[in-house]
Structure 1
Amino acid sequence: MRFLSLESLPASSLLRVFCNAVIFFTLCQYNGAATTSLPFNETVPAVFIFGDSIVDPGNNNNNIKTVVKCNFPPYGKDFPGGYPTGRFSNGRVASDIIAEIFNVKKIVPAYLDPNLQLQDLLTGVSFASGGGGYDPLTAEFVSVLSLSDQLEMFREYKSKLKAAVGERSLEMMISKSIFIVCSGTNDIANTYFLGPFRRPHYDIQAYTDLMANSASDFLQGLYEEGGRRVGVVSLPPIGCVPSERTLNGDIFRHCSEPPNQAASLFNSKLSSLLDSFNSQFPQARLVYLDIYNPLLSIIQNPAHYGFEVATKGCCGTGNIEVSILCNSYTATTCSNASKYIFWDSYHPSQKAYEILTRLALHNKINKFF
C-alpha cells in the first residue's frame, strides 16, 4: 500500500489538510476536560460576536474614523499584559467571557485586527463595533460599523475560510458555532433620547418597533448565512448607568426612568420576536439572554456581589467619563476597579462583566443545543 507524503501535496492542498486538522482539534480539544459541562457531549468550535461596545474587542481601532475609541490608557490596565486593546473596560469584556464559558478560548479577537492568525479565524472573532445599534442611524451618527456592515464582514470571513478549508468543513463549523448579538443600548440612550432626528417623529412605541424590525432583519440575515445557535442579549437598565444618572437623573443621581422603561418595552418585543423566529424556523436555536434584571440586582445589591461602588465608574469622577474622556490624564481613576460595578460611566468593569455574563447564561446553555 502506498502512502501519500505531505511533501508531495501542492501548497493549496497542504493548507486545506492543516486547516481541517485544526478544525478537528478544535471540535475535540475540550472533550472530557471542559471547564463548562455542555449537554449531549457537545463541543463548540467557534464563537462569533455582533453588536456594540459591550462586545467590541477593538474593531473601532482599525481603520475606522470615529471618536468612539478606547485604545489608550487607562483602558485595559487589568487586561493580560496591562495594555489597551480597544475593549471598553479595564480588562476582558463579555465576548471574551462568553467564549470561555463555551470552552472555546479566553480572548476573542477583533475581526479587523491586522495581526489575526488562522487559529483566531477558525475559533471565532468579534465583528462588533462600539457605538452601533439596531437602528442604522445610530452607527451613522458616530461613523462606526452598522449591523449590516458586520454581517457583510461575516460573509467576507466565510469566503476566506471556504478557500482555506472547503465548503463542507466550513458549513459544519458554522452550524455548530455559537453566535451572540448584543445591541440596542445606544439606540435608546443616544439616538432616541439625545439625538435630534428620531424623537420628533417617533414615540417610544414606534421607535422600539423600528428597533425590533431591524433586529428581525439582521437575525434573518444571520440565519441565511448559516447561524443556528444564536444568543440575543437584552437591553440593560440603561437609566442606571452612571452617565445616565448624571445627565438625566435627579439632583441625587437616581436612575433615570424613561430609558429604563424604553429598555423594558424593547426587551418584551425582542423576547416575543425570538419566540416567533424559533417557531418559524425549527432548526434555529435563538436564545433570549436577559441582562436587565441581573444588572439591576447587582446595582441594587452591590455588596452581595462583592462591589463597593454602584453609581459611579472607576475612571475619573465616574460621573461622565467614557471613551476619549477617560484617558491617561484623568486624575482620579480608582486603583482597584474590582470594587466598582462600572469601569467608566457607561461600561461595566471586568469583574462585573464576569458576574453578569454568567448570570445571563445561567440555565440557558442547554437551549443552544
Structure 2
Amino acid sequence: MAALHRGQPLIQQEQYTRGVKMITTQRCRLRELLVAVAVAMVAMAAPALVCGRDLNQTMTVQATQQQGSSNKKPLVTALIVFGDSIVDPGNNNNLPATRMKANHAPYGKDFAGHVATGRFSNALLPPDLIARRLNLKPLLGPWLNVEHTPEDLLTGVSFASGATGFDPLTPQIVNVFTMDQELEFFDEYRRRLVGIVGEAETRRIIAGAFFFVVTGTDDLANTYFMTPYRAGDYDIPAYVDLLLRTIGGGPRRRCEARRNYAALMYNKALQQLIDRLNADPTFHTLVVYFDIYDIIEELAVHGERWGFTELTHGCCGSGLIEVTMLCDTRYMGVCDDVDKHVFFDSYHPTQRAYEIIVDHIFKNYVPLMHL
C-alpha cells in the first residue's frame, strides 16, 4: 500500500475494497511492515523477532540471538526503534504542521534538569529503560532534532513519531511521519553508519541489533473510532489487522467492549501470521509472540498492588482529557505525586508504570531470545 505523506488530500472511502479482499489487503500490509524491517536484517544475519501486545500498546521486538552475554557488557549491538508516542523521544518536535508534541511542560517534569525533550511522559520512555537494561546507554535519542555523535549513532536511535500508525491515513490526519517514512529514516541511518564504520561493521551492528516497534494505538483510538474515514467502509474484522493493542474506554478506563473485541481479534490474527512466518523456510527469522496484556490490565485495574493510588486519572489537569497541547502548565496544574499515578496525561503512562511493564518484558520474554 502506498505511503500517504503529509500534505496529500484525505483518502476517499471509495478507494477501498470491501469484505474478504479488504481483510487480505490489510493483513498483507502488516506483513509487509514486519517483513520490511526483518528482511533488511535477514540479508546480513538471521535475527529473532519477538512480538507482543498489551492493553495499551503492541510492542514488537527484533534481535539476533547471542550466547554468553554478560551484564557487564552490552547484550546487543544497538537498539533501533520505530513507532508512535510510546517510543517517540522527540522526533515530532520540529514538525510545523502537527500539535502532537510533548516539548513543553509538564512533560519531562522528572527528567534530568526538568527538560521537556519531546517524550510523552514525566521522564523516561520504554526505549530508554530497555537501553539501560541492555547495557547500551542511559537514553535512546531521536533520529531528528539532535546532533548525534558517531559513538551515539552506533548504539541506536528512535525513528518513532507520536500519533502515527499502520494505517497510512492515521499520520496524515495529524500531520506526523508515516511508518514508511520511519523506514526511510532507517535507510538514512544505515547509510550514516556505513560512512562512520564501513559496510562490514554496519552489517555486524544491524545484525546484532534489538529492534522495537510500537504502533497501532492511534489507528484504533483516533482513525477508526473518532473519525468517519474508516468505520463506514471497514467493519471491525476488516480493520482489525491494523490494530495492535486494546484501548481502555472512557474516563474510568473501563475497557469498551467493541474496542476490546477489535484488538483481541487482531491479536489472534497476529499469532496466526507469526505461525506462518515461522513455517516459511525462506524467512530465516525466529518469531516469538509475547503478550503483556495481563500486566497492563493489572496496573489499570489493580494498580494499588504496586503502590499506585490513582489508576484512572492522569497527573495533568483533570486527568481525563489533557494530552499533548492540552497538557500544558501554562493553562493547568499538575500533580505532585506522579509515582502514585499509572498515567501521566490522559493517554500516556508514567515512567514508573513503564518500569513495571519493561520489567515484565525482561522477566518473561527477553530470556526467550538468549541474549
Question: If the TM-score is normalised by the length of the shorter chain, which range does it land in?
Answer: 0.7 to 0.9
Q: Is the counterpart of residue 245 in structure 1 residue 250 in structure 2?
A: yes
Alpha-carbon offset, residue 283 of structure 1: 3.0
Q: Is the counterpart of residue 156 in structure 1 residue 165 in structure 2?
A: no
DSSP 3-state at the match of 2:258: helix
Counterpart contact for 1:294–1:360, Cα < 8 Å: no
Counterpart contact for 2:327–2:345, Cα < 8 Å: yes
Q: Tell which deviates more after alignment, 115-124 or 312-321.
A: 115-124
Q: Is the counterpart of residue 181 in structure 1 residue 213 in structure 2?
A: yes
DSSP 3-state at the match of 2:226: coil
What does 1:330-349 correspond to in 2, within 5 Å? Answer: 330-349=331-350
> Residue type of the partner of 1:285?
L
DSSP 3-state at the match of 1:59: coil
Q: Which residue does 2:325 correspond to in 1?
A: 324
Instruction: Give the distance between the partners of 1:153 and 1:64, measured in 2 at CA.
Output: 18
Match of residue 116, structure 1, among 127, 148, 157: 148
Change (3 A) 1:327 1:32: same
Q: Which residue does 1:279 correspond to in 2?
A: 279
Counterpart contact for 2:150–2:196, Cα < 8 Å: no
Counterpart contact for 2:95–2:176, Cα < 8 Å: no
Instruction: Give the distance between the partners of 1:283 and 1:367, measured in 2 at CA.
Output: 17
Query: Residue deviations 1:75-110, cap 9 Å, x none?
Result: 001112211000000000111112122221221000
Instruction: Give the distance between the partners of 1:33 and 1:138, measured in 2 at CA.
Output: 40
Alpha-carbon offset, residue 359 of structure 1: 1.2
Q: Tell which deviates more after alignment, 331-340 or 274-283.
A: 274-283
Q: Is the counterpart of residue 171 in structure 1 residue 197 in structure 2?
A: no
Instruction: Give the TM-score of the pair, scaled to structure 1.
Output: 0.77
Gaps of 5+ in 2: 1-67
Instruction: Give the distance between the partners of 1:33 and 1:363, measured in 2 at CA.
Output: 17
- Name the one with the larger helix percent: 1
Larger relative contact order (Cα-Cα within 8 Å, sequence gap ≥ 6): 2
Alpha-carbon offset, residue 172 of structure 1: 0.7
Instruction: Give the distance between the partners of 1:175 and 1:254, measured in 2 at CA.
Output: 41
Instruction: Give the distance between the partners of 1:361 and 1:205, measured in 2 at CA.
Output: 32
> Residue type of the partner of 2:72?
A
Q: Is the counterpart of residue 71 in structure 1 residue 103 in structure 2?
A: yes
Counterpart contact for 1:312–1:342, Cα < 8 Å: yes
> Residue type of the partner of 2:354?
Y
What does 1:1-369 correspond to in 2, within 5 Å? Answer: 32-34=70-72, 43-209=75-241, 211=242, 234-235=244-245, 237-239=246-248, 244-246=249-251, 254-280=254-280, 281=282, 283-369=284-370
Instruction: Give the distance between the partners of 1:366 and 1:279, measured in 2 at CA.
Output: 22
Alpha-carbon offset, residue 297 of structure 1: 1.3
Counterpart contact for 1:208–1:265, Cα < 8 Å: yes
Instruction: Give the TM-score of the pair, scaled to structure 2.
Output: 0.77
Gaps of 5+ in 1: 1-29, 36-41, 213-233, 247-251
Instruction: Give the distance between the partners of 2:174 and 2:295, measured in 1 at CA.
Output: 29
DSSP 3-state at the match of 1:49: strand
Alpha-carbon offset, residue 275 of structure 1: 2.8
Instruction: Give the distance between the partners of 1:158 and 1:253, measured in 2 at CA.
Output: 41
Query: Residue deviations 1:214-234, cap 9 Å, x none?
Result: xxxxxxxxxxxxxxxxxxxx5
Instruction: Give the distance between the partners of 2:81 and 2:99, measured in 1 at CA.
Output: 22
Alpha-carbon offset, residue 205 of structure 1: 0.2
DSSP 3-state at the match of 2:313: strand
> Residue type of the partner of 1:245?
G
DSSP 3-state at the match of 2:139: coil
Instruction: Give the distance between the partners of 2:212 and 2:69, measured in 1 at CA.
Output: 23
Alpha-carbon offset, residue 316 of structure 1: 0.5
Counterpart contact for 2:129–2:355, Cα < 8 Å: yes
Counterpart contact for 2:105–2:116, Cα < 8 Å: yes
Change (3 A) 1:330 1:359: farther
Q: Which residue does 1:217 correspond to in 2?
A: none
Alpha-carbon offset, residue 285 of structure 1: 3.2
Counterpart contact for 2:292–2:361, Cα < 8 Å: yes
